Chain A
Amino acid sequence: MELFYSLLPELIRMVVCAVCGAVIVFGNALVMGYAERKLAGHIMYRPGPMEVGFHGILQLVIDGLKLMGKQLVIPKNADKPLFMLAPLLAFAPVFVPMLVIPFSDKIQGFDLDVGLLLILAFASINVLAILIGGWSSNNKYSLFGAIRSVAQNVAYEIPMLISLLAIVFMTNTFSLKEIAAAQSPVWFVVIQPLAFLIYIVAMVAETNRAPFDLPEAESELTAGFHTEYSGMSFSLFVLGEYANMFIVCSVATVFFLGGSSGIPLPYFEYTGIVWFLLKVYALMFFLVWIRWTYPRTRFDQLMNFCWKYLIPFSLVNLLLTVVLVKLI
């Protein structure tokens, strides 16, 4: 009993963190789902959703209800267990990174020493989900999407990690909180502009967003890896995508944009979250903006770009950083 009481605060903390993580995941999906459709609309000279609620603000609620009510169609020759597993696997891991993201000085689930590694590890499970989904659908288009996704994600994880490593060398820690705190005079985007650029490009590719949306290239592969998915299993993929966008943008904010630092507000240890979310959503806006502006790249060009430019440049950047850190 004594053990229970001593553990109780920690248990409560865990539950609260898990609930908050879920709130962030779903809240973000609602905000981004609406914002993306609205922004896409305005970029295209059309109003976007307008019918449900004021300026269509309840559109996502209705869409969610519709998707939940839809029949889950499983293709005849699909690998049933894997087919059902894939959307869960795409969606479930996104909660874990939410626990270690420092939203402000005091708002953070757990400050792990290996926060960055945790995020990267759980973010890469998404690739597995896409591969399983594409394979088990037993559809050639889905398989194409899955194969493309694996090749693309494996390739782009390398420059992503290397560009972040440069920051890790400068700060000497994997803890996200300490990395965010290390940027008190100047943000790392000023000191490490090349790493920031590389990270942004890799980030777009990691989240399978246009212009690097080859796994779901609509005009080539109809819908890519989720061709056969419908209803809630399809929307789990979408939820996972939005959550992944949030995670990579948060990492960019923590590593390059000073985390929750900004003009001080009252109770800044907590209200810093305003600045944090502002930066995250600014990056998300950028992702949406380029998605609706550029045509899609070709697969070989995408891979060449990664192996011939991004990886060498990120290595050079890492090497220079290490040398400079050693000298100073």
Chain B
Amino acid sequence: MSMDIEILEDDRHHRYVLNMGPQHPSTHGVLRVLLELEGEYAMNLLPVLGYGHRCHEKIAEYKPVKSFMPNTARMDYLGALIYNHGYAQLLEKATGVEVPERAEYIRVITSELNRIQSHLLWYGAYLLDLGAFTPIMYAFDDREHILDILEDVTGSRLTYCYFRVGGVCKDIDDKFVTSTRAFISRLRSRFPMYEDLVNGNVILQNRLNDVGDLNPHTCARYGITGPLLRGTGVGYDLRRAEPYSIYPKFDFEIPTATKGDCMASFLVRFQEMEQSLRIIEQALDGLPEGPVMAAKVPKKLKIPAGDYNSSVEAPRGELSYYLVSDGSDVPYRLKVRTPSYSNLSVIPEMCQGMLLSDVVSAMGALDLVIPEIDR
């Protein structure tokens, strides 16, 4: 903490330090931000991390690769299936296990449901940050349907461990298909309501427009990806930029906005939900028959010596796993590149000179999931 005191000192030019977090309603978890304030203007910001660190990367070096799958879900509890997906894909790349087509379809459907669920939670929580209490209940109402659908097939509601090396652990049934289709039409019918009630609201527009400006250059310097980057006009989405799984088969758009402020990323995330629905619809239509697990996956999965990398598009941006193997079934090193960590690092630059209320809305626009930062 000595560093904090050096950088941020009380009574320097009539400034004083406000300690936001680790228990604060709008830091969504155990993030702590020190703000050096002048009046209500934040002149300096310093995020302090590490309150929720659980050494996931180190744990990976001590157990067989296959048994690390549940840990991936605990890193980002909102995009658990997508984290599963990245990890399963990494091991498949390393060992050359072929995934049956039906399993890939199921992976895409469930991952996209997971992405919508994550965006819905962000939508509610962000508006809560902005002082609107009601939308979170509406968003949770919709999100509940996804959780029910995924619970039926995966057995859990939040920290899924559904994907396996070579496929998924359980096949989907007719009930899954019908309830997913019902959910698609339900959420579609709810979008106009959200737009009327929230997105067009003049108070919301005033709170979000021209707040937290980012540009592609800043994003490149900090490694910002995901909806924030797409909000600056760069249509970079790994599902298109470096296609993985069976995403090339589907027809969907990458929503972008040009202004780079909070409103831009707000709209990008909102439109992404519709695109995810489109992907799910196409995947349900083209769902092939067949097995959901590869026939021969060894019990003890030995990774040939070498370096392996796998990247997927998580709800908050680019997620990468980097694995170094010495030829055994335990990784020598596993590095996870999580999107929120890079996105968070822009806070000091993005929020400098902002009002306290704008710091809250800018931080909300980053859609931070703290366990993913402190993994």
Contacts and interface: CB of A to CB of B under 8 A. Distances in A.
Interface of A: 40, 43-46, 140-141, 144, 210-211, 213, 217-220, 222, 292-301
Interface stretch (B199-207, B227-235, B306-314, B321-329): B199-207
A294 B197 CA distance: 9
A46 B137 contact: yes
Interface of B: 16, 18, 24-26, 40, 127-134, 137-138, 141, 197, 201, 203-204, 206-207, 355-358, 360
A45 B206 contact: no
B203 A222 contact: no
Contacts of A298: 206-207, 355, 357-358
A229 B25 CA distance: 17
A46 B207 CA distance: 28
A43 B197 CA distance: 12
Given A220-B26, A298-B207, A144 B356 contact: yes
Given A140-B18, A297-B207, A217 B133 contact: no
Nearest to B16: A140
Contacts of B360: 219-220
A294 B132 contact: yes
A173 B358 CA distance: 45
A143 B356 CA distance: 14
A295 B137 contact: no
A292 B131 contact: no
Contact of B131 (A44, A210, A222): A210
A292 B133 contact: yes
A299 B127 CA distance: 17
Contact of A45 (B16, B131, B138): B138
Contact of B40 (A45, A46, A144): A144
Given A40-B133, A219-B129, A295 B25 contact: no
Contact of A213 (B26, B40, B131, B138): B131
Contacts of A299: 40, 355, 357
Contacts of B141: 45
A295 B131 contact: yes
A219 B128 contact: yes
A295 B138 contact: no
Contacts of A211: 131, 203
Contact of A296 (B25, B131, B355, B358): B131
